Amino acid sequence: MNKQLMPALDVQERMHSFEEVNLGYTKKQAIMEAKRCLNCKHHPCILGCPVGIDIPGFIKKVSEGLFEEAYHIIARSSCLPAVCGRVCPQETQCEKVCVLSKTKNGISIGHLERFVADYHIKHGKDVDLSIHKYEYKVAIVGSGPAGLSCAHDLIKAGFQVDIYEALHLPGGVLSYGIPEFRLPKSIVFHEINQLIDKGVNIITNAIIGKTLTLKDLKSMGYQAIFIGTGAGLPKFMGIPGEMLNGVYSANEFLTRVNLMKAYDKDYTTPILKAKKVAVIGGGNVALDAARSALRLGAKKVYIIYRRTRNELPSRLEEIHHAEEEGIEFIYLSALKEIIGDNHGFVHHIKCNKMTLGNPDSSGRPRPVENLNDSYHLDVDEVIIAIGTTPNPLVLQSEDDLNATIEGCLMVHHDTLETSIPSVYAGGDVVTGSATVILAMEAGKKAAHSIISQLKK
Ligand code: FAD
Ligand code: SF4
């Protein structure tokens, strides 16, 4: 039996809409896909999952049509299955090591996870809402996947958990970064609300480092603190023309689109609706910005990337979808200058051609610039998506917190404790920009360190 394909919105329809692209498996598809699983004794897929979901266990329940039971198996390890089923790069994790992947027919674990989580959202009753008698009190800074997953494991252990979030809505990148057509916000808030129902308290508009410091939190009686403030500070290129009107960082562009709903005519959030857009970079962020610009009405959207398609770091599914939607990928190219018109707006860009050299420290071939081979491209908007660094506010307000030159917090490898005792950190603020599931893994690991430290 072959893989069940994920049904998707028609290309012409979705290019002009922020509706979710993937439609999700039907019950019949989910059962057929689940029945292909071999329930391997050594289950390599579980080892490929950073949060250790019992993958064969939940898939078996799906094959028997017991979808709620499948959900409860997943929920033991993950508080964000509907999110992860949509955005995890499964092809480099659980699905990569599935024994059936050797024949390119691996189980679509992510699609099944999404099916089960969506089934639960529609039909499920939620799990224990027991009132805990809290013995310990922990503060979490940041409500992205790292903070939420830490909160999940702490509340399960009977701790009081208060999350302090700088923005007016929780979720981190899930709310402000990843667009609606990939990750509907109703899904994100449903999973966050389940945590709130279990007793997690989320305090929004609270900027730690400004509104309150870590010392304030300690004096408020928190016995441990987890910092999961992410890596939301955009990098720029330092090239001429970056200050022109019409140049955005991908973070600003996507925050306006997602968190501030610039795509929705009922909102007044200003955003440039350009005709020709160049997005610089090749990761998920670049693809999200490019596909959002298309949906805002751009006639032509280019992705300018220094390497080739083989090295694109974004999820495979997003590359396919972007190509189907007509996004033009210009490989082996580097932006050198943005040239403006007489009114200070972007008019065109100058790029240099590249070739691939020997592998660099990332293991990918190093892009080498051909200084004498350049070209111009007419565009009226440029979105820079070349990476981000950790949000610096907590670090700037604490002398005793150690960090790398790039501003990543330094933690003990086994416990994730920072240089300040009882203060832990994890997710993008430690690793730099990574993935949802790695941030969740870090949140879990820190929760377990906190539990064993406080219960000692
Ligand atoms: P974040 O999600 O960044 O959350 C940190 C939170 O802390 C934020 O809400 C922030 O407002 C808050 N905060 C910051 N400073 C303070 C402060 N001083 N006080 C209080 N709160 C504070 N990963 C995938 O796996 N798959 C994808 O498809 C994918 N697509 C992506 C698309 C985009 C556009 C972006 C930007 C990232 C994408 N990623 C993807 C990466 C993934 O989202 C991140 O790795 C993940 O969200 C990191 O989680 P985190 O909890 O460490 O940080
Ligand atoms: Fe099923 Fe693949 Fe895991 Fe084997 S490795 S149990 S086939 S998902």
pLDDT-above-70 percentage for the chain = 98
Ligand 1 centroid to residue 315 C-alpha, Å: 17
Does the C-beta of 208 come closer than 6 Å to ligand 1? yes
Choose one of 95, 140, 173, 189 to mutate for the ligand 1 pocket test, by most ligand atoms within 8 angstroms of C-beta.
Answer: 173
CA 251 to ligand 1: nearest atom: 36
- Ligand at minimal distance from the CA of 46 is 2
Mutate to test the pocket of ligand 1, among 180, 252, 436, 445 (most ligand atoms within 8 A of CB): 436
> pLDDT for 387-417, tens place per residue?
999 999 999 999 999 999 999 999 999 999 9
pLDDT band at 1 (very low <50, low <70, confident <90, very high): confident
- The yes-or-no verdict on residue 456 having pLDDT over 90 is no
* pLDDT at 131 > cutoff 60: no
Range scoring the smallest mean pLDDT among 362-366, 396-400, 441-445 = 362-366
Whether the CB of 53 sits within 6 Å of ligand 2: no
- Whether 145 is in the pocket of ligand 1, judged by its Cβ within 6 Å, is yes
Cβ of 45 closer than 6 Å to ligand 2, yes or no, is yes
The mean pLDDT of the chain is: 95
Largest CA distance in the chain: 70
Cα of 223 vs centre of ligand 1, distance in Å, is: 25
> Is ligand 1 within 6 A of the CB of residue 183?
no
Q: Answer whether residue 132 shows pLDDT above 70.
A: no
Q: Is 39 in the pocket of ligand 2 (CB under 6 A)?
A: yes
Task: In whole angstroms, give the CA distance from residue 314 to residue 89.
Answer: 8
Q: How many helices (H) and strands (E) does the chain have?
A: 18, 15
pLDDT of residue 128: 59
Q: What is the DSSP string of 54-112?
A: -HHHHHHHHHTT-HHHHHHHHHTT-S-HHHHHHHS-GGGTHHHH-GGGGGT----HHHH
247-302 pLDDT, tens digit each? 999 999 999 999 999 999 999 999 999 999 999 999 999 999 999 999 999 999 99
Quick check: 318 pLDDT over 70?
Answer: yes
pLDDT confidence of 306, banded at 50, 70, 90? very high
pTM higher than 0.85:
yes
What's the distance, CA 203 to chain centroid? Answer: 22
Atom 4 of ligand 2, nearest CA residue: 40
Nearest residue to 239 (alpha-carbon basis) of 349, 389, 328:
349
**Which residues have CB under 8 Å from 382's CB, separation 6+?**
244, 246, 247, 248, 277, 278, 279, 280, 335, 338, 346, 349
Q: How far is the CA of 111 from the centre of ligand 1 (A)?
A: 22
Q: Is 62 in the pocket of ligand 2 (CB under 6 A)?
A: no
Indicate whether residue 272 lines ligand 1 (CB < 6 A): no
pLDDT tens-digit readout, 219-254: 999 999 999 999 999 999 999 999 999 999 999 999
Distances from the Cα of 294 to the Cα of 287, 288, 454, angstroms? 11, 10, 50
Question: With a 6 A CB cut-off, is 436 part of the ligand 1 pocket?
Answer: yes
Which residue from 3, 43, 105 has its CB within 8 A of the most atoms of ligand 2, so it is best to mutate?
Answer: 43
Any atom of ligand 1 within 6 Å of the Cβ of 317:
no
Distance (Å) from CA 146 to ligand 1 centroid: 8
The beta-strand segments (E) located in 246-345 are: 247-249, 276-280, 300-304, 328-330, 333-340
What pLDDT score does 454 carry?
Answer: 93
Q: Examine the pLDDT at 126 and tell me if it is beyond 80.
A: no
Task: State yes or no: pLDDT of 336 exceeds 70.
Answer: yes
For residue 125, pLDDT beyond 70: yes
| Between residues 371 and 377, the one the model is more confident about | 377
127 has pLDDT over 70 = no
Q: Which ligand is nearest to the CA of 63?
A: 2
CB neighbours of residue 326 within 10 Å? 12
Distance 124 CA to ligand 1 centre (A): 28
- Residue 363: predicted pLDDT: 86
Contact 79, 191 (CB under 8 A): yes
Q: Are strands 201-203 and 160-164 parallel, antiparallel or unpaired?
A: parallel
Check pocket membership of 262 for ligand 1, CB cut-off 6 A: no
Question: Is residue 173 lining ligand 1, measured as CB closer than 6 Å?
Answer: yes
Model pLDDT, residue 451: 96
314 touches 331 (CB < 8 A): no
- Ligand approaching nearest to the C-alpha of 175: 1
Contact assessment for residue 241 and residue 338, using Cβ atoms and an 8 Å cutoff: yes
Which 3 state secondary structure label does DSSP give 273? coil
Counting from 1 in the atom list of ligand 1, the atom nearest the Cα of 232 is 3
Residue whose tokens read 């709130």: 196
Query: Of the ligands numbered here, which is closest to the C-alpha atom of 433?
Result: 1
How would residue 320 be classed by pLDDT, with cut points 50, 70 and 90?
very high
CA–chain centroid gap for 261, Å, is 18
Residue 37 has pLDDT above 90, yes or no: yes
Beta carbons within 8 Å of 169's beta carbon, 6+ residues apart? 175, 176, 204, 259
